[in-house]
Structure 1
Amino acid sequence: MYACSKEESEVNPEEKNITFSVPSNFPTPAYNFEDNKLTNAGFALGKKLFYEARLSADKSVSCGSCHQQFAGFAQLDHRVSHGVNNCQGKRNTPPLFNLAWQKAFFWDGGVKNIETSPINAITDACEMGTDLPTIIAFLKNTAPYPDLFNKAFGSTEINSQRVLKSITQFTAVLVSGNSKYDKVMRKESGTAFTAAEMAGYNLFKAKCASCHAEPFFTDFSYRSNGLDQVSADEGRSHITGLSTDIGKFRVPTLRNIEYTSPYMHDGRFYSLDEVLEHYNSGVKAAPNLDVQLQNGITLSTTERDQIKAFLKTLTDNEFIKNTLYSES
C-alpha cells in the first residue's frame, strides 16, 4: 500500500525493488509510468540527477538545493527560491510529493506534464540557469553517467527525453501518504485522533476543506486569498492571459505543512499562526478575491490551536526521514 515501510527506509535503491504504490485512501493517479517503466536503475539515475549540482550554470545548485527532504522537499526558511549566483527567484519553492496525482505544476499551473516540469528550473536564470543541450554534453563526458544511462535504458545514449524520464522516476515515486491522518482514515489499529485533533478536523472540514480538499488537502484550483489589495505577482494570468486570473495561485497542499514553511506563493508567512491570523483578520478585498473568503475565516484562539493540532497530523515522518529519497 505504501511505497516504503519504516523497516525498509535504510535500504539503498540498488538493494530494494523500487515500486510506486497508491495508498488505499488515495484515488487513481494521473501519472502511471505506462510510458516510463519504473526500474531500480532508472530511479537511481533520476535521484543522482536530482542531487547533481554540476548541472547548474555555476555548478552550485541542484534540484535538491531548493527541494530539501527535511522540509518536505520544499526550501526551509527561504522566502523565495535561491538559484545560481545567489539569485533570488520570484516565488516560494513548493514541496515535492504526490506529484503523480497532479495534472498541472507550479504556482500558476504553467506546465501540464510532470516529465517536462524540470525544464523550468533548468532554464530559469534565477534557478539553474542552463539548458538541456549543455546538461546532455556534460553527462556524456562525465563518469559514471554513460554507465548509469546504459543500466537504466539499455544503451549509453543520453538525450533530453531520457534525462527527464529518469528524473520523473525519482520525483513521481515521492509519495507521502502515511501520516497520522492517513492511518486514522484507514482505520489502522491503535490510531485515533486526540480530542483536540478531532475538534480541529471538524473545524477544518467546516472552514477550510472547500479549497484544501481531502485526501491531498488541495483541490488543485487557482484562487486569490486576499494577500494584497493589488497583487504584485500576476499569478495564474501569466499563463491564461485573463484579467480574472490576476493574483490567483494554485491552492497548496497542507500535507507536511509542519515542515514546509515559509508559506504562501511569496513565502511571506513563517508560521502557521501568521497564516491563520491572515484568514482571521488580514484578508484584503482584492479584485479577484475568492468568494468564500469575502468575510475571512473567523477563528478563536482555541479554534486556532485545534486546527494546528489537526494540521500536525498531516506530517508524514516516515516520508521525511526515508533515506531512500536522501542524497547519497
Structure 2
Amino acid sequence: ASFGTFEHDRSHGVNNSHTLRNAPVLVNLAWAPYFHWDGQYQTLELQATHPLTGDHEMGETFPNIIRKLEADPSYKKDFQTVFKTPSIEPLQIVKALAQFTVTMISANSRYDQYKKGLTTFTSQEQAGYQLFLQHCNSCHREPLFTDHSFRNIGLPVDPSLNDLGRMRISFAGADSLQFKVPTLRNCYLSSNYMHDGRFISIQQCINHYRFQVQSSATLDPLLRQGISMSNQEADQLMAFLKTLTDSSFVTDRRLARPE
C-alpha cells in the first residue's frame, strides 16, 4: 500500500517487536535531503542499513545477509555482473537498495494529469485544491507535496513512547517534537498516519488541524490558531487529496516482489 506501514500504528519488527514509529511511504525519495521522521540519515545508502540491522526491524547482520544472498545463484550472478567482484559486499547491498528506491517515482495521479492539461477536476476537487493552496501548500509543497522540513504540528505527546522527534538527533531544544513533513501523494493508500500512526483516516488528520492542535514552545507558527475550515470545506479538501492517488505506481510490476 504505497510502500509504507499499512493499517498499523507502528511498524512490525522481528520477534513480534515494534519500531518507535510508523514507516513513511517510499515515494519520490530521489529528491529528499533527509530520511526518517527525524532526519537521522542524509543518504539512502546509510538509511538502508537501519531496517536491515535494527534490533526492532529485521535484526540482521551483514555477514548473515551476504550468506543468504550468495546462496541464491541468481542474486550472486547479478551482484557479480553489476559490481564486478567475486563476492557480495555490504556496501554493494545498500547501494543496490538505494538505487531501487530512487526508481520508486509517483507522478501519474489525476492531479498530475490535471497539471498537464489532460483532465479536469470536478467542482468539489477544484474547491479542495484551492483550500489546499491556502492552508496546506506552505508545508506540503507541490509537486512533491512536502518541503522536507521538520515541524511541530501540535500532536499530543504519547507518554508511552515519549518521542521527541528531531531533538533525538540534534539534541537542540528548538527541535523538540518536530518531525519531517511527509508527502501527501497516495495518502489515501497509506494509513495509518502521523509519525506514530495514531490516526487511521484522512478525516482524522484534517480534524486534528481544525480542532486539536496543542500549543507548545516549538509549535509551528503557522498552526498557532489551528486551521479554520467548515465541514463542507473539509470534504472538498479530502476530494482533492484523493486526486493524488497514483494507481499506476502501486501496481507497477517492476516494483513488485520478484517471482
Q: TM-score range by the shorter chain?
A: over 0.9
**Are the counterparts in 2 of residues 147 and 156 from structure 1 also a CA contact under 8 Å?**
no
CA shift, 1:199, in A, is: 0.3
Residue 140 of structure 1, CA deviation? 3.0
- The residue number in structure 1 matching 2:120 is 192
* Residue aligning to 1:47: none
Asked if 1:119 corresponds to 2:38, the answer is no
Q: Which structure is richer in relative contact order (CA contacts within 8 A, separation 6 or more)?
A: 2
Q: In structure 2, what residue type is equivalent to 1:224?
A: N
Deviations 1:108-144 (A, max 9, x none): 0000001221111112111011222332233234433
Report the Cα distance in structure 1 between the residues aligned to 2:197 and 2:12, rounded to whole angstroms.
12
1:230 positional shift = 7.9
Give the drift of 1:167: 1.2
| Structure 1 runs not aligned, ≥5 long | 1-70
Which region of structure 1 is more displaced relative to structure 2, 241-250 or 161-170? 161-170
Q: Which residue of 2 aligns with 1:206?
A: 134
Q: Equivalent of 2:80, from 116, 128, 150?
A: 150
Decide whether the 8 Å contact of 1:228 with 1:286 is kept in 2.
no
Distance 1:186 1:108, change over 3 A: same
- Aligned-residue offset at 1:206: 0.4
In structure 1, what is the Cα distance between the partners aligned to 2:132 and 2:68? 49
Aligned pairs for 1:170-249 within 5 A? 170-188=100-118, 191-228=119-156, 232-249=162-179
Aligned residues: 256
Residue of 2, 6, 13 corresponding to 1:83 = 13
1:321 to 238, 251, 258: 251
Q: C-alpha root-mean-square deviation of aligned residues, in Å?
A: 1.4
Superposed CA offset, 1:163-200 (max 9, x none): 11111221110000110111111222xx0111111100
Contact 2:157 2:163 in 1 (8 A): no
Cα deviation for residue 154 of structure 1 reads 3.2
Question: Aligned pair in 2 of structure 1 residues 283, 124: CA closer, same or farther (>3 Å)?
Answer: same
Query: What are the residue-to-residue correspondences of 1:1-328 with 2, within 5 Å?
Result: 71-188=1-118, 191-228=119-156, 232-327=162-257, 328=259
TM-score by length of 2: 0.95
Query: 1:322: Cα distance to partner?
Result: 1.1
Identity %: 42
Instruction: Kindly state the Cα deviation for residue 261 of structure 1 after the two structures are TM-superposed.
Output: 0.5
1:227-269 superposed Cα distances (whole Å, 9 cap, x missing partner): 1168721100111110111110000100000101110000000
Question: Aligned partners of 2:227, 2:198: CA distance in 1, in Å?
Answer: 19
Q: How far did 1:149 drift?
A: 1.1
